[in-house]
Copies of this chain bind each other. A is one copy, B any other.
Amino acid sequence: MTTVTTSLEAPAPASARQLPVLTICCAPSAAMADDDAASLAGMFKALADPARVKILSMLLNADEVCACDMADAIGKTAATASHHLKLLRDAGLIIGDRRGTWVYYRVVPERLAAIRDALTLA
């Protein structure tokens, strides 16, 4: 039950659009909760760099990659590679376990699925 008027009056503020009042703008569609938005934004931020996108793509193709190859693959120093790996780890997108001298990383499929779900139309 949505009454459409001419554009004479301003669109009612979202807070008032619950009632059957003059509206012309759009569905209420409240914003998502702060916590959810922050959590999702954190994951996106973890992927918001070409070096980290490259790392993730490597892990998606090989399901396990030695940290010793990361620096060369992204064209940065080992320290920088380690920094990016930490950001991906902190975001929960990848995990690494040490086996002797080397550390092997792989993706966390559930976390990637969470991102995909957030980008899917209702």
Q: Which residues of A contact B (CB under 8 A)?
A: 7, 10-11, 13-15, 25-32, 34, 37-38, 40-41, 44-45, 47-58, 60-66, 68-69, 72-74, 100-102, 104, 107, 109, 112, 115-116, 118-122
Asked if A101 and B65 make an inter-chain contact with CB atoms under 8 angstroms apart, the answer reads no
Question: How many copies of this chain are found per oligomer?
Answer: 2
Instruction: List, sorted by A's number, 16 A–B pairs whose CB atoms are closer than 8 Å.
Output: A10-B68, A14-B72, A25-B102, A27-B65, A29-B62, A31-B54, A37-B54, A40-B47, A41-B47, A44-B48, A45-B45, A45-B48, A48-B48, A60-B120, A63-B121, A112-B120
**C-alpha gap A109/B104 in the complex (Å):** 35
Asked whether A68 and B25 contact (CB < 8 A) given A44-B53, A122-B61, the answer is yes
A14-B72, A41-B49, A47-B48 given; name 9 further pairs at CB < 8 Å: A11-B102, A14-B73, A31-B55, A38-B50, A41-B53, A44-B44, A45-B49, A112-B121, A115-B119
For residue A15, which residues in chain B have a CB less than 8 angstroms away from its CB? Answer: 72
- Going nearest first, the 4 A-B pairs with the smallest beta carbon separation are A29-B62, A45-B48, A31-B73, A44-B47
For residue A53, which residues in chain B have a CB less than 8 angstroms away from its CB? Answer: 32, 37, 40-41, 44, 118
